[in-house]
Chains A and B, each alone.
Chain A
Amino acid sequence: MLATAIIVFREVLEAALIIGIVLAATRGVVKRSAWVSAGVVAGLAGAALVALFADVISAAVAGAGQEVFNASILFFAVIMLGWHNVWMGRHGRELAQQMNAMGQAVKEGERPMHMLAVVVGIAVLREGSEVVLFLYGIATAQQDQAGQMLAGGVLGLLSGAAVGLMMYLGLLRISSKYLFRVTSWLITLLAAGMAAQAAGFLVQADLLPAIVPTVWNTSEILSQNSVPGRLLQTLIGYTDHPTGIQLLFYVVTLVSIAWLMRLYGGAPTRKTACVA
């Protein structure tokens, strides 16, 4: 049971952290729960479909279907995250003023939640499909232990959700003056990490060169398979031995989003924070 719980926990962790960050980033947005829930539900439905068609996906693109599929949805999530941040850079000041004027009960119905809902859906889809395949696999292999397995799955899911909740509550402790800045940086780092991960899949599919096979190796110090390693992998894109192209994608994504936020953001948000 514990083994099942640990495996499910590791899979759920990434999606749970992303949901925690999205909820913190959208604090005060009307109907955000509905949007995030819709993302989760769509993600679960997608996960079931991906699991069902795992064979078809795997065999596509001359056997590189899994890699191309993963890379594509990750890049799509990167665009959504970047788009959200640029939008926030542009409208953040108005929002901060509104928040200041109206306290927590800020009404901002026009704020685009769909981008972040899509990101939530993609995170749930990616991790969820593996959970489904894993649980289905042991359910068919060890039918006598179905109860134990289910208990392990639920325990893993709840533990993962608890970490997501801690992330959310932790972020909410940040003063609302800085919350937007902190969450937009978190979202930028999340996007950069996802871009690097997508590049990794394309290297695996032999569609991109690694350029440098191992830029550094810190697996002895902090393995990306450990729980802290996994947390950092999701949050900042930590990889214990990245390839050159992964580092390149990471840096280019980080710089592009930061630059576009400045370019379209108008006055720097720092000023707003001080005024507020």
Chain B
Amino acid sequence: MNSKYLGVIMAMLSATAAYPLQAKDLPVFNLSVKDGHFSPVQVEVPAGEKFKLVVKNEGSGTEEFESSDLNREKLITPGASVVIIIGPLKAGSYGFYGEFHPQTARGQIIAK
């Protein structure tokens, strides 16, 4: 088993190193988070299309973008921006929140 799994991992790591992330031409939507608040709190995106959500942390502490609706979780250190590739989504609304400020940091992605 070990050699099999090791093989898979090696393949994955080497693929990772050489893999051109196909994120370049995707439409971009911006979001910022500051001290436990997202802005804007609603992001409208086209349904049925893959897109990039760029989340910038303008606050003083680390935040974790988390969405169980979207199966995404990513840490954003202060001052940093992260890219989260999402979709294609069916039309509907998908909640997200800041794991470190779950009461105040809440927002939605609306796919239309």
On A, residues with C-beta under 8 Å from B are 3, 7, 54-55, 58-59, 61-64, 66-68, 71-72, 75-76, 78-79, 82-83, 86, 130, 133-134, 136-138, 140-141, 200, 202-207, 219, 223-225, 240-241, 243, 256-257, 260
CA distance A72 to B11 in the complex (A): 12
CA distance A66 to B2 in the complex (A): 24
Instruction: Tell whether, in the assembled complex, residue A58 and residue B82 are in contact, meaning their CB atoms are under 8 Å apart.
Output: yes
Shortest Cβ distance from B29 into chain A, in angstroms? 16
CA distance A64 to B75 in the complex (A): 11
Instruction: Tell whether, in the assembled complex, residue B21 and residue A130 are in contact, meaning their CB atoms are under 8 Å apart.
Output: no
CA distance A82 to B23 in the complex (A): 35
Specify the chain A residue showing the minimal Cβ separation from B86.
Answer: A204
Shortest Cβ distance from A138 into chain B, in angstroms? 6
CB < 8 Å: which of B16, B72, B80 contacts A61? B16
A-B contact list, 24 entries, CB within 8 Å: A3-B102, A3-B103, A58-B80, A61-B17, A63-B82, A68-B13, A72-B9, A76-B9, A79-B1, A79-B2, A79-B6, A82-B5, A130-B64, A133-B62, A134-B99, A134-B100, A137-B78, A137-B100, A138-B100, A141-B35, A202-B12, A204-B84, A206-B22, A207-B15
Instruction: Tell whether, in the assembled complex, residue A256 and residue B64 are in contact, meaning their CB atoms are under 8 Å apart.
Output: no
Give every chain B residue within 8 A of A78 (Cβ-Cβ).
5
Specify the chain B residue showing the minimal Cβ separation from A261.
Answer: B1
Question: What would 4 more interface pairs be, CB under 8 Å, given A64-B21, A140-B60?
Answer: A66-B75, A83-B1, A138-B61, A206-B22
Give every chain A residue within 8 A of B73 (Cβ-Cβ).
204
CB < 8 Å: which of B4, B21, B74, B100 contacts A256? B4
Specify the chain B residue showing the minimal Cβ separation from A242.
Answer: B71
Instruction: Tell whether, in the assembled complex, residue A133 and residue B75 are in contact, meaning their CB atoms are under 8 Å apart.
Output: yes
CA distance A205 to B64 in the complex (A): 16
In order of increasing CB-CB distance, the 5 nearest A-B pairs are: A137-B61, A133-B62, A260-B1, A62-B21, A137-B62
Pick the most buried of B4, B5, B22: most chain A CB atoms within 10 A of its CB: B5
CA distance A75 to B2 in the complex (A): 11
Give every chain B residue within 8 A of A202 (Cβ-Cβ).
12
Shortest Cβ distance from A230 into chain B, in angstroms? 11
Once A7-B102, A54-B62 are accepted as A-B contacts, the answer to whether A200 and B71 lie under 8 Å apart by CB is yes
Once A130-B64, A256-B1, A260-B1 are accepted as A-B contacts, the answer to whether A55 and B77 lie under 8 Å apart by CB is yes
CA distance A203 to B82 in the complex (A): 16
Instruction: Tell whether, in the assembled complex, residue B21 and residue A79 are in contact, meaning their CB atoms are under 8 Å apart.
Output: no
Specify the chain A residue showing the minimal Cβ separation from B13.
Answer: A72
